[in-house]
Structure 1
């Protein structure tokens, strides 16, 4: 049995390591066109990766049968179009201030650097809106003023400490972009209410511009596809192999039934539900997978001829993982995932039953694991599987991080191997 589970761990490792290189290797050649700095418009195929960050370059070839492709940088092109999206080349100011609250500074003024970059056209018409995500992961939005690309100003920063509430840090926002948009869209006063509630993100800014064009007697404009994630909901069921090993810092007569025991693996059913959030862009390869499931283990064995030991528990667990998919075609994909699990024990058995006496047999019951078992379970989870249409098959390895017994002299390793079938609806 040990050899089988060692082979299973090796299989999971090989699936992970063999799939990771394909993350960079996978290409998506889609029909598109480019306009060079010389004014030439060329039709062909672009390696379209649904970039979440604006690309530093694109690959282009004249037809899908060509093996070799050419790289084009922002300095080479005026614009390119692919799969209904349009990017233009522009020299821009990019805001680089930290966007994580722990690294905010006290300066409300933005910090910028100059980039020559491809920026995505979000709204195209008499009034333009562009988006660029730089190498720092910052979203930057732009408007076109007198044929010049202007950055809409936004920054979140530390303001001061609130001494009345445990020195809590107070944050503020530089929302100069609202005044800049008010001036840019000043030929429509009806949007003033929408403008006040406009946030510095794609969806909110799109809403404002759509209201503007409605105000302009439904003046024609073009809008790129909105980057919105979507959810998949799954029913999960399967079988779990439980492998427990106990370790000891002290040996004693009261724990002989544990440290001298040969505990066999146990099998138990697993079932649950999950919600998978598909992260937009990158061809839906990445997702956040959250699962609520019920799992259990049950170990029972006899020690010597007069002692029976039962150790079992059932848990309600929340599993949070990041999932990556490698699409084999439009109906199936291979996936890998990894993350953490948090479980609460909802029932348990911790019993040692001994027979004693020579002439008259008597029964004595006590705790099999002295001091009981922990109610909380923290684990690492790694899995790999295959999905076709609405069904999925997954092998998942789970390693419990906190020891099961509460006793300081006892430890444990509990490893689980889940064989799961999923159905999404």
Structure 2
């Protein structure tokens, strides 16, 4: 439990220290005046209700919000427009679905993210589990593309796909088929781009999804050497001061999924690793046994990157570690042996990555119990390692 709390605290700290740069952009105020400025680009996963900007590097930071800003954008990256819209926020949690087929619209003023511009514009609003799409044609009003999941009288999940009717009536072209459009970003962006290219219009066409951070999957190998220490305790016999220390070696494989927001600063990873440790067990200065500890560790965790420049970045990571011992035991000279059965643990790391290829990391493994199945024994294992990595 303590190690789980430690991991949660680490992730909270990572979120607090996240480095976000000011980048060139613009705002349009309520008077319709466009002002070039610097915007703190947080690559928002959810639509913001406010943002931070400053006129230049020497000026103070200002909060832009729904009351003062009609539009803002980060050059070559993202764009948001303010609209007063009717939005249906029906719960999308499968355990809390409505039994009503009709939409429950409420009027709200929101910053909508632009996905596609042209004769017909496509927007998105993301609020956690609520993701809604909107469309607007030239000088006409903006409408939500209507889609709702609900439960019928037999408690079966049913989908109200009225957005297909909207596409047929308002955003259709003989050369494209609206019937196969799904209610998701990729499908709708593809359709609106096709529609805008299908119609003769002087309106420039722009796909804002191309400038967004993309998810990435990276694979690599890890080699490490560490210093491990073990403290044995037996509450029944009062054993104390039984220790072991030595070098452990490890080789692993990492699969990393870089998240498609916040400028690719966050990633999930899993790193199956074979580790081996063998050393004497001592009481005071007397050798009383030997430990052989081989296992497959599976750290599952979160990594946060802090970019220095295009080729260099620092990272912090934390992981929950599941350990599977292989032919491992603590063998005492004059008493029964202890088969190793380890408890889960947590590791914390800090490292440097160069050109997304090479990395070096210092990693600390918090205490795990290697005698988890024994009532009176506690075998506290901890380790600190230096790990070298190479990504394919």
Fold conserved (TM > 0.5)? yes
Conserved 8 A contact 2:232-2:241 = no
Matches within 5 A, 1:266-415: 266-301=246-281, 308-354=288-334, 367-369=336-338, 372-374=339-341, 377-389=343-355, 390-399=357-366, 403-415=370-382
Report the Cα offset of residue 271 of structure 1.
Answer: 1.5
TM-score of the aligned structures, taking structure 2 as reference length: 0.83
CA change 1:32–1:249 in 2 (3 A) is same
Q: Given the alignment of the two structures, is residue 224 of structure 1 paired with residue 217 of structure 2, yes or no?
A: no
Distance 1:180 1:127 in 2: 13
Distance 1:326 1:107 in 2: 47
Distance 1:411 1:230 in 2: 42
Report the Cα offset of residue 223 of structure 1.
Answer: 0.8
The structure 2 residue matched to 1:212, chosen from 177, 192, 195, is 195
Conserved 8 A contact 1:307-1:352 = no
3-state SS of 1:404 partner: coil
Distance 2:389 2:274 in 1: 14
Q: Which moved more, 1:235-244 or 1:210-219?
A: 210-219
Deviations 1:113-172 (A, max 9, x none): 4331211111111122101113x45222101156222112233445688xxxxxxx8644
Q: Given the alignment of the two structures, is residue 81 of structure 1 paired with residue 73 of structure 2, yes or no?
A: yes
Distance 2:221 2:82 in 1: 46
Superposition RMSD in Å:
3.4
Q: Given the alignment of the two structures, is residue 59 of structure 1 paired with residue 57 of structure 2, yes or no?
A: no
Distance 1:403 1:95 in 2: 53
The structure 2 residue matched to 1:29, chosen from 1, 17, 22, is 22
Unpaired runs of at least 5, structure 2? 1-6
Q: Which moved more, 1:345-354 or 1:85-94?
A: 345-354
3-state SS of 2:188 partner: helix
Conserved 8 A contact 2:29-2:68 = yes
Distance 1:404 1:414 in 2: 10
3-state SS of 1:190 partner: coil
Report the Cα offset of residue 62 of structure 1.
Answer: 3.2
Conserved 8 A contact 1:378-1:400 = no
Distance 1:97 1:405 in 2: 47
Report the Cα offset of residue 15 of structure 1.
Answer: 9.5
Deviations 1:100-119 (A, max 9, x none): 44444544545554331211
Report the Cα offset of residue 279 of structure 1.
Answer: 0.9
Distance 1:104 1:324 in 2: 35
Report the Cα offset of residue 403 of structure 1.
Answer: 4.9
TM-score of the aligned structures, taking structure 1 as reference length: 0.77
Q: Which moved more, 1:73-82 or 1:101-110?
A: 101-110
Distance 1:272 1:339 in 2: 15
Which residue matches 1:173?
159
Conserved 8 A contact 1:310-1:368 = no
Q: Given the alignment of the two structures, is residue 118 of structure 1 paired with residue 114 of structure 2, yes or no?
A: no
Distance 1:229 1:27 in 2: 18
CA change 1:416–1:182 in 2 (3 A) is farther
The number of equivalent residue pairs is 380
The structure 2 residue matched to 1:422, chosen from 372, 375, 389, is 389
Higher Cα Rg: structure 1 or 2?
1
Which residue matches 1:130?
123
